[in-house]
Structure formats: structure tokens, C-alpha cells
Amino acid sequence: RFQACVYFASVFQAMSCGIHYLASVFMAVTPNFVCGFPGNVSSVLFHNSSASSIEDIWTLWTSTENYIVVQLENGEIWELDQCSRSQREVSLDLAYEYKGNKSVFPCSDGFLYDDTKWKSTVVTQWDLVCDREWLAKLIQPTFMLGVLIGAVIFGDIADRLGRQRVIWFTSAGQFVFGIAVAFTFDYYSFVIVRFLLAMVSSGYLVVAFVYVTEFVGIKARTWASMHVHAFFAMGVMVVALVGFLVRTWWVYQIFLSIATLPFVLCCWMLPETPFWLLSEERYEDAQKVIDTMARWNNVSTPCKVSELCSVQQDDLADGRMGDDDTSSTKKHNILDLFCNWQIARRTITVWLIWFTGSLGYYVFSLSSVSLGGNEYLNLFLIGAVELPCYIIACVAMDKLGRRNTLIPFLILSALICVLIMFIPQDFNILIILANMAGKFCIGVAFGLIYLYTAELYPTIVRSLAVGSGSMMCRVGSVVAPFCVYLRSVWIFMPLVATVSFFQLLVGIMALLSGILTIMLPETLGKPLTNTLVEATEMGRKKKGCLEKTPPAHSGAALEKLEMFGQDIVSADK
């Protein structure tokens, strides 16, 4: 009961992370537009269609190469392109085709936008078109850059100051910065505030994974951690729903940010994890949390911290491994992820999986948005397709193991990427199915790596490991939008104009990641480790060591705490 309340309270806020990550999909959309004109219009001409206002012409607009002819009340005739306008020197008859002389002018009177779908976006508010179009394309990459930095900063802070304080701060930050985005006064303040929003959103998501992992025991750890992603996907679905209902960007942003308010009001009630308290030798505080868990779970004989500490001290004395063993009071940094060859090799492989998963996930996702049809329904389905993905991943992870699930899905995603390269352009349905299959496979790997990383590293650097992995993940997410932008100019094969070289790159990296994953240890059913010594020993299959007292007993002792939290009383306690 205690873990269930803590878990659902924590993952509810993960939904807001999905909201803010994808909010720019509709907030920064660029509608059809043309140059403004000096004066009042009397008639408008577009090919063979005439109208009294430009608003009536937008339904006929089919290409950015089109132009609109307008006649002003003073008799002047102008040709309006997207980034320039031309005044006809001879204004006799209003006709679409004109062979005479024209004077070309810049768009000094602003732009006219199609507001049939969106009344206002950040693009229309600050004219992020033509020579300022690159500013609009930087909105999502700069957000992901904030996600990258926030993952490292808050992951490290969570290991130093505790998970609870970071969850408090980042939850409040998401609400405050989310509302502040709606009231920014220019493009640069908008980007800065969204950058801060990205940092706290990323910080919450990283620490929330560690937080629920340390509270939930082995029996439910797989499903609990994977369904944090499910709530993230639900956030994407909320973006689609709110985008369909609200068509003004700042109102849209406020509605999205309000979704975080219930958790902000109650997040101060969440306790610190006993794992972190024990690693910091705050035994009295850990005992208080354990006693609270006992009352909630109706356990009559709660676990005693003194028993855990006595076992842990004995095991550390017997299993200490030279200078590699690190005191729990030491402040750790990213260099600890390379403290020896086994941990360093593990870190490099995990980082590659994070990067590949993120790059593939966002390349497939951004490609899915342009499949045609209703864009709101498309985005909703993009989020919905992840839900069965995580269910299948959970079943496979519990039956086959983390490593044995990760390897085939990485390799399968690589094969799908290569297959897409050879699908002819005319086979649209097959291309869509292949893209969805690729996203499904990479989604399994992308969702699994969060839990796998948390289980591969000890308590003292767990948040740092997940945070640094998330940093590599965000490098991939920063690169992904540029890959999609370059698709229109760098076509790998003429047969498939919808596929670029970068999908082949995703396939190659997924294949390499799948091969390297073979060297990682399996963590299914294993207790969480507490020191770097235990993490190093994990996965070693030495008969002599197995016959003796294993040096990872401190982790086993802490595992009693996990089991206790699930109403399981250890027989050898």
C-alpha cells in the first residue's frame, strides 16, 4: 500500500514531462503565410479563383511556391510570395499571370498567416519565418539541450542531497516555468524560460526513475519502472488532446502546465528513500521511513536498521576489495563510472544504448508526424502505440531477462532500419508499417535501458549513472531534429525520398549496441547493489567465489529492506 501510493504519486508527474517534451509540436507550428501589403485589399486572385479577402484563399493553398495576387483600394496590384512581394508597374487588368515589369520589395509590413487551424503560435507572434526561420527550428533542439544539462546536474544533486529534495524542487519548477513560458514577451525570453523548464523536467524524470526503483522491490520493479514511460506517453496523448481543443499557443501552454498542479500540492509528503539514507549513514531517518512503511503495510515486525547495518559492516570487512571500495560518505562524481575496467566498459556500452535509443526514438517519432492525415490523431497514436510496447517489454524482461530482451529488439530495429532503405517510395503503407515497427522495437530498448541502468550501478552512483545516461540520450534527441530537417536535402537512395542516410546510421548504431550488450551482466532477480565493489562483482561467474560468502552481502541486506516493503518477511532475517 505504501509503495503503491508513493509510486502513483511520483509517476503522475512524469506525465507532465511528456507534455513539456512534445508541447512545441503544436506551439511552434508554421502555418501558411505570405507577405503583408500596404493598404486595404479590394479583391484577391489565386490561379482561377477570386475572393474578397485572403482568408478565403487559404483553403486553396497547396504549395509554398504559390503566390497570391491582390488589388488594393487605390488600384495597386501586388503579387505576394512567402518572403517577398512585387508591385506590378502596369495595373490595368487583374490577372494571375503577368509578363510586365515588377518592383520587388521586402516584407516590411509583416506577414499574413493562415489562422484556420491555429489562432496564434510562437511563429506567428514573433514572425519566425523566412530569414528568421532558423530561430523556429532551434526551439526543440535548445529545449533538448536543457534536458541534457538538467539530467546530469540533477542526477548528481540527487546523489549528494537526496532524491526527495530534487523531486520537490523540480516539481515546483515544472509548474512555475511552465506557466512563465506563456507570459514571455519575446523569442529570447521564451527560449530561456523553456530551457529552464527543460532542465527541471529532465531532472524530475531522471530522479523519479531512481526514486521508484529504490522504493519498489524485485517483484514489481520491472513493471513499475517501465510504466513510468507509459505515463510519459500519456502526456504525449494529452498534448494531442489539448492541441485539438485550444488553438492559441499561450492558452495552450497554460492548460498543459496546470496538469502538474495536483502533484505540486502534495509532493512535499513524499519521503526520502531508505536506500539513500542508509548510504549516507542516516540510520535514524531510515528507521523512521521503515516504521512508516510498516504502519501503512500492516507489518507487525518491522525491519531494524541496526540488523542491516551489522550485516553490512561484517560483509564489508570480509569482502573489501582494496582501494576500489568507496566509503558511503564520499562524494562521488562521473569519474566513478570509470573506476575500473569492468565498470568503464559497462558505462560505455550503456551510454551507446542510451544515445542510439533516443536518436532512433525521435527520428521515428518525428517521421511519423508527417505521415499525413489529421496531425492531432497522428500525435495521439504516436503516444498510444507506446503503451502495448511497454507491456510486451515488461513480460519479456520478467521472463527472459533485461539483457536477453534488449539484445533482440536492438538488432531487430537495426534490421528494420536497413529494410526501410530499400522500400520503394510508392509503397506508402509498407513504409508506415515499417516505421511503426521500428519505433516499437526501439521503444522497447529505450524504455528498458532506464531500469537496466539503475540495476547495473550501486546506490552511491545510481542517480549519477542514470543522469549521465540520460545526458547521452539527450545528445541523441538534440541531433534527431536536425536529422529530420536534413532529410529534404540529403537523400541516400533515389528510390526512397522519405528516408535519409540517418536512418541507416540508426540501424548501424543499434546493431553495434546489440552486440556490445552481450557483455553486460543480467540483473533479473538480483538485489540492488550498494557499493562499486558489489557492482563490479555482479555478473562474474567464478565457482570459487560462489562457494564462499559473496562480497555483495551488503546489497543482500538492503534487499531485505526491499522485500520488507512488499510485505515479504525474509526467512533468514
CA distance 213 to 366: 30
- Asked whether 13 and 260 are in contact (CB, 8 A), the reply is yes
CA distance 517 to 346: 9
State the average pLDDT over residues 392-402: 85
What are residue 112's DSSP bridge partners?
34
- At 123 the pLDDT is 92
- At 191 the pLDDT is 94
**pLDDT tens profile 162-173:** 888 888 899 889
**pLDDT tens profile 464-476:** 887 788 778 878 8
Closest of 403, 427, 390, 423 to residue 503, by C-alpha: 423
- At 543 the pLDDT is 39
Mark residue 298 as left, alpha or beta (left: phi above 0; alpha: psi -120 to 50; beta: remaining). left
Distances 394 to 64, 224, 401, 413, 445 between C-alpha atoms, Å: 46, 9, 10, 18, 11
Q: Amino acid identity of 449? A: I
State the average pLDDT over residues 68-79: 82
- Asked whether 435 and 214 are in contact (CB, 8 A), the reply is no
Tell me the pTM: 0.77
Angle between helices 553-565 and 218-245 (to 10 degrees): 60
- H or E stretch at 543: helix 543-547
Least confident of 97-106, 136-145, 491-500: 491-500
Q: Amino acid identity of 307? A: E
- Reply yes or no on whether the pLDDT at 197 is more than 90: yes
Percent of the chain with pLDDT over 70: 83
- At 134 the pLDDT is 87
Q: Amino acid identity of 260? A: T
Contacts of 357 (CB under 8 A, 6+ apart): 442, 445, 446, 449, 473, 476
DSSP assignment, residue 518? T
CA distance 247 to 245: 7
CA distance 390 to 445: 10
Least confident of 21-30, 273-282, 419-428: 419-428
- At 495 the pLDDT is 32
- The DSSP result for 374-393, as a single string, is -HHHHHHHHHHTHHHHHHHH
**pLDDT tens profile 298-313:** 877 767 777 666 555 5
- Do domains 1-31+123-270 and 336-538 share one topology? The answer is yes
pLDDT band at 184 (very low <50, low <70, confident <90, very high): very high
Domain 1-31+123-270 CATH superfamily: MFS general substrate transporter like domains (1.20.1250.20)
- At 250 the pLDDT is 93
- At 557 the pLDDT is 44
Distances 127 to 35, 45, 105, 135 between C-alpha atoms, Å: 11, 24, 17, 10
Q: What are the backbone dihedrals phi and psi of residue 444, each rounded to the nearest 5 degrees, phi first?
A: -60, -50
CA distance 25 to 371: 14
Q: What are the backbone dihedrals phi and psi of residue 186, each rounded to the nearest 5 degrees, phi first?
A: -155, 180
- Asked whether 44 and 77 are in contact (CB, 8 A), the reply is no
Domain 336-538 CATH superfamily: MFS general substrate transporter like domains (1.20.1250.20)
Least confident of 242-256, 302-316, 334-348: 302-316
- The DSSP result for 414-448, as a single string, is HHHHHHHHTS-TT-HHHHHHHHHHHHHHHHHHHHH
End-to-end CA, the chain: 22
Distances 55 to 101, 120, 388, 397, 442 between C-alpha atoms, Å: 28, 15, 43, 55, 43
Angle between helices 553-565 and 283-296 (to 10 degrees): 30
Distances 15 to 8, 18, 19 between C-alpha atoms, Å: 11, 5, 6
CA distance 573 to 571: 6
Boundaries of every domain in the chain: 1-31+123-270, 33-116, 336-538
- Asked whether 473 and 352 are in contact (CB, 8 A), the reply is no
Contacts of 350 (CB under 8 A, 6+ apart): 449, 452, 453, 456, 465, 469, 520
- Angle (CA) 396-532-455 rounded to 5° is 15
Contacts of 228 (CB under 8 A, 6+ apart): 11, 14, 205, 208, 209, 212, 450
- Asked whether 159 and 462 are in contact (CB, 8 A), the reply is yes
Higher pLDDT, 141 or 425: 141
- Angle (CA) 52-56-60 rounded to 5° is 125
- Asked whether 502 and 306 are in contact (CB, 8 A), the reply is no
Least confident of 103-107, 203-207, 388-392, 425-429: 425-429
Contacts of 152 (CB under 8 A, 6+ apart): 334, 467, 468, 470, 471
CA distance 158 to 210: 9
DSSP assignment, residue 296? H
Q: Amino acid identity of 231? A: F
**Given the C-alpha cell 514511460, which residue does it identify?**
229
Least confident of 9-23, 68-82, 87-101, 338-352: 87-101
